[in-house]
Amino acid sequence: MIELILCALGLLIVQIMAHYPMNLQHVQFFLSNRHGEIEYSETTLRIQRAAANLKETLPIFLTLMILGMVQGVDLTLLGACWLALRVAFFILYSFGIEKVRSVVWILALIVLAVMGSTLLSAL
């Protein structure tokens, strides 16, 4: 389960950094104190929103995984499902695929709920 936690943290880093290669024309801005504003492409804005969305549920995922390890509850399969759904969400969001992305997001939330339920039933 530790590997899944590390992969989830890696996904966060990838999502945070994903837009930089698309914005090499703004290198001076990224190296500055960022006093001004720059115009981002719609794709860049979608990538940034996907990263922000991950930041909302990642603490829940990490907490559940750590509680699973502490309580001796194997959440590996559920954690892998959540991670796969979050990777799919990022790809779908980046490419602007709306309806499928929303379904994937809901499925990821359901997986978190099942993880919590699994922990509760093991008490």
Domain that holds residue 44: 2-121
Which domain CATH number covers 68? 1.20.120.550
94: Cβ contacts below 8 Å, ≥ 6 apart = 18, 43, 46, 47, 50
Q: 38 phi and psi, to 5 degrees? A: -130, 155
Helix axes 98-121, 76-94, angle to 10 degrees: 160
Q: Tens of pLDDT along 26-77?
A: 656 555 676 667 777 888 889 999 999 999 999 999 999 999 999 999 999 9
Q: Distance between CA atoms of 115 and 63, rounded to whole angstroms?
A: 10
pTM: 0.87
Number of domains comprising the chain: 1
**CA-based angle 104:106:111, to the nearest 5?**
95
